Amino acid sequence: MQPRILGTTMPVLEVDLNPDESVFSESGELSWMTASIQMTTHTQMGGGGGVFGVLKRAVAGASIFMTEYRAIQYPGSVSFAAKVPGHIVPVELAPGQDYLVHRHGFLCATPQVTITLGFQQSLGAGIFGGDGFLLQRIGGVGTAWIELSGELIQKNLASGELLRVHPGHVGAFQSTVGFQITMVPGIKNMIFGGDGLFLAELAGPGTVWLQTLPISRLAHQISEYLPRAEARSTPAAAVGGGLLGGIVGSILSGDR
């Protein structure tokens, strides 16, 4: 198996597979593949197998369906492109060396990797889409590739060292790092600070990867430029103005 990360702003992971080697991802992640790659979609990967494994993935925010990409008879390659500008990061997994990743961070992995719920906390309706804050735990043995949005900032925390972060900027961290969601201190900060009500508190030892472009913030910025649906009820004056404008427009255009 030979993985390569190509590109810069919108990278793609390309994995060359020898015959009978495979990787898996959530359904719908494929970008392109060669003819010798066979796809098999099922529920028995990424969570230990069986109904319990499927439920653990569902609770963790992952798809219940996983797709395996296996090279049959001949070498082949399969590729997974980033969904937003950012980085693709490989992480090596072994017993006791798990990682916690933001809920949309998993891209693909080798067969013995597992995906389960790592952290979940309800933060009230309307915050993080009303679903609360959730992290996936990626464990097992092998290699996983995770997708982090925006620029990537790596922090190596010493034992007992604290880092407070807006929750959306938490990309991934080693399982040795302590993690909790705390309230923003001070009533004035909560009401007038404009930074939200919650902060993520990470405590060393371990490595933390921060992402500068949380998907939630990107969606919020884009939403300001999306067309708004017109109101269903239109005031009479507006109707009259629209009708008059249509008549004047027809006259000026000469009914071309």
Does 255 map to a domain? Answer: no
pLDDT score recorded for residue 229: 67
Over residues 233-256, the mean pLDDT reads: 42
Can you read off the two tokens belonging to residue 100?
């916690």
pLDDT score recorded for residue 246: 43
pLDDT tens string 163-219: 999 988 999 999 999 999 887 754 444 444 444 578 899 999 999 999 998 877 777
pLDDT tens string 121-141: 655 544 444 445 789 999 999
- pLDDT confidence tier of residue 101, bands split at 50, 70 and 90: very high
Does 237 map to a domain? Answer: no
Total domains in the chain come to 1
Does 202 map to a domain? Answer: yes
Does 168 map to a domain? Answer: yes
Residues 27 and 63: beta-carbon distance below 8 Å = yes
pLDDT score recorded for residue 122: 58
Does 236 map to a domain? Answer: no
Q: Mean pLDDT lowest for which of 59-73, 105-119, 148-162, 236-250? A: 236-250
Does 72 map to a domain? Answer: yes
- Give the C-alpha separation, 76 to 19, whole Å: 8
Strand partners, 95: none
Q: Residue 167 has what DSSP assignment? A: G
Contacts of 112 (CB under 8 A, 6+ apart): 140, 141, 142
Can you read off the two tokens belonging to residue 180?
């909790």
Can you read off the two tokens belonging to residue 233?
């009820």
Does 134 map to a domain? Answer: yes
- Give the C-alpha separation, 192 to 162, whole Å: 25
Q: What is the pTM of this model?
A: 0.77
Contacts of 157 (CB under 8 A, 6+ apart): 163, 177, 202, 203, 204, 205, 206, 207, 208
Does 234 map to a domain? Answer: no
- Give the C-alpha separation, 213 to 151, whole Å: 7
Residues 15 and 34: beta-carbon distance below 8 Å = no
Quick check: helix, strand or coil at residue 224?
coil
Residue 240 reports pLDDT greater than 60? no
Residue-number span of the structural domain to which 44 is assigned: 2-220
Cis peptide before 205 (omega within 30 of 0): yes
CATH number at residue 173: 3.60.160.10
